[in-house]
Structure 1
Amino acid sequence: MNFTIEIDTNNYYKLEKKMHQTPARLCNNLQRITRNLSLPPTICFHSSSIHPENHHHDKPPPLPPPLSHQTRYNPESQNDLQSFSRTLIASPNRIHKLISSQSDPLLAKEIFDLASRQPNFRHSYPTFHTLIIKLGNARQFSLMEKLLSQLKRLRYPTTPGLFSRLICIYGDAHMPEKALKMFYSIVEFNCNPTSKHLNHVLSILVAQRSFLRPAFDLFRIAHKYAVDPNVKSYNILMRAFCGNDELSVAYKLFNDMLKREILPDVESYRILMQALCRKSQVTKAMDLLDDMFNKGFVPDTLSYTSLLNSLCRKKKLREAYKLLCRMKVKGCNPNLIHYNTVMLGLCREGRAHQAIKILDDMYLNGCLPNLVSYRTLVGGLVDQGMYDEARKYMEEMISKGCSPHFSITHSLIKGLCTVGRTEEASEVLGELLKHGEVPYIGTWQEVIPRICEVEEMEGLDGFLDEVIKVDIKPYTRIIEAGAALEEYLIKKIRANSGKF
């Protein structure tokens, strides 16, 4: 026996909203109603009954058999029956909306299955799409794949976006085999794979070195699936082979791209230039840069960074500075990284006086030096014994709120003490204390004995006053310096006592 239950169209949307807020009652209500009312398993749902234009033309549905006395007057059963009537939704669009709003994918699947049991009910493709993605994101792969099989069996027209998302889901789950299999099975869903699908799969495969060859094989047979690799496809493989120390294969791919009249982009050149720089083949990398200029490309900042780094490592500092000046002419303004790279290269090679020129160029081009810039320059000047210049730029960096590294200040103060400029070393130390900088304990040990040796005790008292003014913090080493000073003075007193 089949029962037909009509839905009150006037209250339909209000009741559906209430049901949407408490979807967990959906299955429980059905189970309790079937058990309490002993309803037959087959219940007909007429989707047309919810439309007002059809409501008045249909014949009144047959009434259900009279309820038993116990059920009729059982408040719980009456409520269950009313709840059951409210939960009947025959519109595929409403089912899709309800499933889309569920944060729990398993609950969304229960709603899907419940609606599927309605006679003559057919889910829409958006419902399949939404639920498959929900299950995939939740790593419910067995349920997801069963739903995919059902989608294929029902021969729904599918969209490429579904498979793009599924391939990415398998990639995020570190399942490259599944991603590759998904690509091959796209045609089984009456859908043609695209270059976007190919690139997604290639990116997932090359992320693991053991799948580099399968990725290359897929790349070579992609045309059998009516997929033409594009410049991004080539870039993915070129980067992978360069990372695998197979630069020759990457070059073959680059040349093959030109043969197929696929125009390389800035990334294509950068991939090869970076690989050449890592191999210390900076001359070939510069040739590629010239080729880019000839083809009208504007190299990006990463390309210039790689070239400048490589030139500085190869001690081709003149070429590095020329490239730095050439950048702005070619439409790419140098940034902090570019300036600091060349400055570091100059200072490492004992050419700190030229690094000062780099700092001046930064100001002229509207690029403000940062902490790294000053630390690099001051350190290079100290190493070359250019103490006056080093002191000047150290004071400048402190005035701009940049904290000098203790190794730089120690080197400067120690250098000044070594050449007998103890007073200037004391002034540098006082400047550090004035700005709340904590000198290294070795710096105190370098200055204080020299002050004591020349018997400038008044100067020592002045230092102690400055020390007291500095706030004591957890990382402050002033206490350690005080202990060292005490130990030194005790030794000095004992030594002087022995003379009498």
Structure 2
Amino acid sequence: MKQIESRTVDEFLLPEEKLRGIFLQKLKGKTAIEHALSHVSVELSIDIIAKVINRGNLGGEAMVLFFNWAIKQPGISRDIHTYYIIIKALGRRKFFKFMIEILHDMVKEDLQLDLETLSIVMDSFVRVRQVHKALETFGNLEELGLKRDTESLNVLLQCLCRRAHVGAANSLFNAVGGKIKFTCVTYNIMMSGWSKLGRVSEMERILKAMIADGFTPDCSTFSYLIEGSGRAGRIDDAVEIFEQMKEKGCIPDTRVYNAMISNFISIGNFDECVKYYKGLLNSNSDPDLDTYTKLISAFLKARKVADALEIFEEMLVQGIVPTTGSLTSFIEPLCSYGPPHAAMMIYQKARRFGCKISLSAYKLLIMRLSRFGKCGMMLNLWEEMQESGHTSDMEVYENIINGLCNIGHLENAVLVMEEALHKGFFPSRLICSKLNNKLLASNEVEKAYKLFLKIKDARRNENAQRYWRANGWHF
């Protein structure tokens, strides 16, 4: 009987939840855990391994034990890319002891660590401000089968500069000077770090050292100089650098134009932004996603909606597809002021070009349409959201019910409320009270009473669920 019940419960669990659940049983010994894992009816894949490790709250020891069992299973490749999963997961959760042990295991198994592995490890330390551990690891690279050469130095400098530890990067840069050969990339990494802080004097020092070392500044160098000058508020100097690089025969590329556009956005000079954007269109380079994202976001922030829509249209025509996050960032400000027309235009054009829309974007649009009483559009959008694979949550149901109540579509509002309750969502008391009052005002006393009983049952079930979960019973 227990076996049948267990099997029935398992049917409701995802594969990764079944595997993770083994560690909740508190089995004693590695052999017992591996035996239990082997008897879970799951078709193991790299994707499932990643979900088990990245989600939930497994400890470092449990993560390593599961991973070591998983890579022994048939169909799972035991290569460097599979190890990236566990190294990233351990680093993200600060299980550094286990992360280093995995690296040593890789060396023992003759798996050659690459620069990507090194980047993951270094960034894990630097991200939580343990720079000394990153430097210590760099000093002991030979133990991991790597060399302390230019490429590994560039990886560490990149991690430090990206996380704003430019002072530590500069100290390392000065310490290894003459011991490790620098390249143009090394100097540009240092330039990028100082650029983010707007330290023009430091950038000039790096530039002089770069030229003295026999390297010619390239477009990356100039883009960092321009960006850093802009951050320091020296826009005129940035314009001068831009003109000088053309005189020196270095043709500006997309990154350089993007830096100029960013500088003029920062001071709100949109005429100059458009001027450099048009200059980019007329050059040998093409605008990229960064160009369009900067311009559209700036126009939306300044409430220049028509200009933003025009640039968005140009971006799609150029074949540049915005990321899901970028689209959400475009829709969000449009849903904070004015009617939802412009936000819906962005959505419809993006959908026509096959862009993926996030659940957050759908929720913003539904909320805005609900507030403005555009319930026909709202219901169509809700249907499209479900067709795209997103599931409705309580926030979605509340906005749908609220919108239907506002325009007097009470029968539909009741149906949506019943669907929400059936799926285990319990809308807020404010929404329930609003719908109930609207029904009573329309003399729909019987409907209001029936709905009251259903809400009462749902509230009782919700309280029971809270009690279960408080006791660790996740049904």
Question: In 2, are the aligned partners of 1:350 and 1:384 still within 8 Å (CA)?
Answer: no
Question: In 1, are the aligned partners of 2:369 and 2:375 still within 8 Å (CA)?
Answer: yes
Instruction: Indicate whether 1:138 and 2:127 are aligned.
Output: no
Out of 224, 239, 263, the position equivalent to 1:251 is 239
Question: In 2, are the aligned partners of 1:179 and 1:201 still within 8 Å (CA)?
Answer: no
Instruction: Indicate whether 1:198 and 2:187 are aligned.
Output: yes
Question: In 1, are the aligned partners of 2:254 and 2:287 still within 8 Å (CA)?
Answer: yes
Question: Residue in 2 aligned with 1:181?
Answer: 174
Question: In 2, are the aligned partners of 1:324 and 1:334 still within 8 Å (CA)?
Answer: no
Question: Residue in 2 aligned with 1:431?
Answer: 419
Equivalents in 1 of 2:323, 2:160: separation in Å? Answer: 39
Out of 375, 382, 396, the position equivalent to 1:387 is 375
Letter of the structure 2 residue corresponding to residue 423 of structure 1? E
RMSD: 4.1
Question: Residue in 1 aligned with 2:309?
Answer: 321
Question: Residue in 2 aligned with 1:445?
Answer: 433
Question: Residue in 2 aligned with 1:54?
Answer: none
Out of 287, 292, 306, the position equivalent to 1:304 is 292
1:307 CA drift (Å): 0.9
Equivalents in 2 of 1:460, 1:360: separation in Å? Answer: 37
Equivalents in 2 of 1:313, 1:241: separation in Å? Answer: 23
1:310 CA drift (Å): 1.5
Question: Residue in 2 aligned with 1:236?
Answer: 224
Question: In 1, are the aligned partners of 2:373 and 2:406 still within 8 Å (CA)?
Answer: no
Letter of the structure 1 residue corresponding to residue 258 of structure 2? R
Question: In 2, are the aligned partners of 1:410 and 1:442 still within 8 Å (CA)?
Answer: no
Instruction: Indicate whether 1:261 and 2:249 are aligned.
Output: yes
Question: In 2, are the aligned partners of 1:305 and 1:337 still within 8 Å (CA)?
Answer: no
Instruction: Indicate whether 1:364 and 2:352 are aligned.
Output: yes
Change (3 A) 1:301 1:405: farther
Instruction: Indicate whether 1:223 and 2:216 are aligned.
Output: no
Equivalents in 2 of 1:170, 1:335: separation in Å? Answer: 26
Letter of the structure 1 residue corresponding to residue 351 of structure 2? Y
Alignment of 1:115-154 (within 5 A): 137-138=135-136
1:251 CA drift (Å): 2.6
Question: Residue in 1 aligned with 2:56?
Answer: none
Question: In 2, are the aligned partners of 1:324 and 1:338 still within 8 Å (CA)?
Answer: no
Secondary structure of 1:253's counterpart equals helix
1:463 CA drift (Å): 1.9
1:257 CA drift (Å): 1.7
Out of 274, 277, 280, the position equivalent to 1:286 is 274
Higher mean C-alpha displacement, 273-282 vs 417-426: 417-426
Question: In 2, are the aligned partners of 1:309 and 1:341 still within 8 Å (CA)?
Answer: yes
Question: In 2, are the aligned partners of 1:343 and 1:373 still within 8 Å (CA)?
Answer: yes
Deviation string 1:194-233 (CA, Å, 9 cap, x unpaired) is: 4234224434555656x54133133146433433222222
Deviation string 1:348-389 (CA, Å, 9 cap, x unpaired) is: 453424544443333322224331332232222223222333
Count of residue pairs the alignment pairs up: 325
Change (3 A) 1:391 1:173: closer
Instruction: Indicate whether 1:401 and 2:405 are aligned.
Output: no
Change (3 A) 1:419 1:179: closer
1:396 CA drift (Å): 4.5
Change (3 A) 1:297 1:474: farther
Secondary structure of 2:354's counterpart equals coil
Deviation string 1:299-338 (CA, Å, 9 cap, x unpaired) is: 1112111111112223322222222222233242344455
Equivalents in 1 of 2:256, 2:462: separation in Å? Answer: 52
Alignment of 1:32-181 (within 5 A): 137-138=135-136, 174-176=167-169, 178-179=171-172, 181=174
Question: Residue in 1 aligned with 2:260?
Answer: 272
Question: Residue in 1 aligned with 2:4?
Answer: none
Change (3 A) 1:331 1:177: closer
Instruction: Indicate whether 1:378 and 2:371 are aligned.
Output: no
Question: In 2, are the aligned partners of 1:378 and 1:394 still within 8 Å (CA)?
Answer: yes
1:295 CA drift (Å): 0.9
Question: In 1, are the aligned partners of 2:296 and 2:311 still within 8 Å (CA)?
Answer: yes
1:439 CA drift (Å): 0.8
Structure (1 or 2) with the larger CA radius of gyration? 1
Secondary structure of 2:285's counterpart equals coil
